[in-house]
Copies of this chain bind each other. A is one copy, B any other.
């Protein structure tokens, strides 16, 4: 009977477990998880803070109990793998309740330990009122703290899209939010149009933001934090640190091929460079479909897919991940922003002779009530007209406009395919020439 060990019981790990079980109902599947909570929608955390979602429990798809009942597999929680020996095929597992460490051998292993928040040297993360925004315990701590202390002033360090979602959430709670960002803009990896839209929205919503701002020191007196930057001292009742994540693979040692940030390299079937060891989720680098090169872009959606694929292949199937195209989306107050593929600058860095065009066009028939403008920028290869990327800034739901572009990238399609696309048209839902078509046409007829 095949034997499997899975480290990590979230999106990637449990997706794999379910696929293995589906193929081999009698398999022995051992699932270890460092935390007490498993299988939760971490992407929903800001929306609980903001009150869009009422119950923390809504984010939890499965408890260990309900997973066992529904899927017939046990998850051993609060078990941290602290060492992995590929040669002896052994794990050192620490019981976080008792502190005891035991060794255990494995046959087929999946590493699905995810990522952990980057930490800033000047912040004491043990201090009450300093939070990361990554786990269910983080979320419980945040809600309890800001409710009990009636926190009014929040400092959010980091203006990536999680930082921005958090910023909206805290504003919705009536808090005064100050965003501090070391780089010279929010969402640094996004094109300028998106950055400008975000900054205007912050201003409109009375969110303070300081760019190119480094915190040198944080002092806390009487529950008030004082953040010292080059130019000023800022007071805050609560501090959130949202400055990105790093792969949680410190136990893996040096025998794995990795990306510079430590993410494990896997092939398109989820195999690491070490035999019988697969990896999936926020601890791995995945193939970018447009370049063929591995990139680190940790997202719940990709973790789910790679987990499913790793599980299917571990179970003996032969399934290949085509690669990501770099699709991202987030909501920021009344804005919806999404991108996929590359901006012109990124495409040029990757060696393409690229051009970009942009259009602004209504999201439905211009005469239909509620029509609102959609800004779309597309990048394409000059000679072949192959689409290389798209950016959308709109109000309703940018997925509506970015998903067709993501499909087109996956299909290696050209502007000719898109300019004349037989897209949905009806006045309440879509215009004759939607943003993607119009941008493609403009690219072809400058």
Interface of chain A residues 305 through 348 with chain B (CB within 8 A): 305, 309, 320-331, 336, 338, 340
B52 and A329 form a contact (CB under 8 A): no
Give the docked Cα–Cα distance between A421 and B321 (Å): 9
Count identical subunits in the complex: 2
A426 and B331 form a contact (CB under 8 A): yes
**Given the contacts A41-B427, A44-B367, A429-B336, A411 and B407 also touching, CB distance less than 8 Å:** yes
Interface of chain A residues 369 through 395 with chain B (CB within 8 A): 369
Give the docked Cα–Cα distance between A323 and B413 (Å): 15
B425 and A43 form a contact (CB under 8 A): yes
B322 and A417 form a contact (CB under 8 A): yes
Q: Is A91 an interface residue (CB 8 A)?
A: no
A444 to chain B, nearest CB (A): 9
Q: Cβ of A309: which chain B residues have Cβ within 8 Å of it?
A: 420
A429 and B305 form a contact (CB under 8 A): no
B399 and A301 form a contact (CB under 8 A): no
Interface of chain A residues 396 through 412 with chain B (CB within 8 A): 397-400, 402-404, 406-408, 410-412
Q: Cβ of A410: which chain B residues have Cβ within 8 Å of it?
A: 413, 417, 421-422
Q: Is A86 an interface residue (CB 8 A)?
A: no
A191 to chain B, nearest CB (A): 16
**Given the contacts A424-B338, A425-B300, A322 and B367 also touching, CB distance less than 8 Å:** no
A45 nearest in chain B by CB position: B427
Q: Is A187 an interface residue (CB 8 A)?
A: no
The proximity string for A residues 284-304 relative to B, scoring 1 for CB distances below 8 Å and 0 otherwise, is: 000001000000000111101
Q: Cβ of A328: which chain B residues have Cβ within 8 Å of it?
A: 424
**Given the contacts A403-B400, A408-B411, A43 and B426 also touching, CB distance less than 8 Å:** yes
A424 and B398 form a contact (CB under 8 A): yes
**Given the contacts A322-B416, A400-B400, A404-B404, A47 and B422 also touching, CB distance less than 8 Å:** no
A161 nearest in chain B by CB position: B426
A58 and B367 form a contact (CB under 8 A): yes
| 4 closest A-B pairs by CB | A411-B411, A301-B425, A399-B424, A329-B424
14 A/B residue pairs, CB under 8 Å, sorted by A:
A44-B365, A44-B367, A52-B428, A58-B367, A59-B367, A301-B425, A326-B422, A398-B429, A399-B423, A399-B424, A403-B423, A404-B406, A406-B424, A407-B411
19 further A-B pairs in the complex, CB-CB below 8 A; given A336-B429, A406-B424? A41-B367, A44-B368, A47-B368, A53-B369, A301-B432, A304-B432, A305-B420, A321-B420, A323-B422, A324-B422, A327-B423, A329-B425, A399-B424, A399-B429, A403-B403, A404-B406, A406-B423, A407-B407, A408-B411
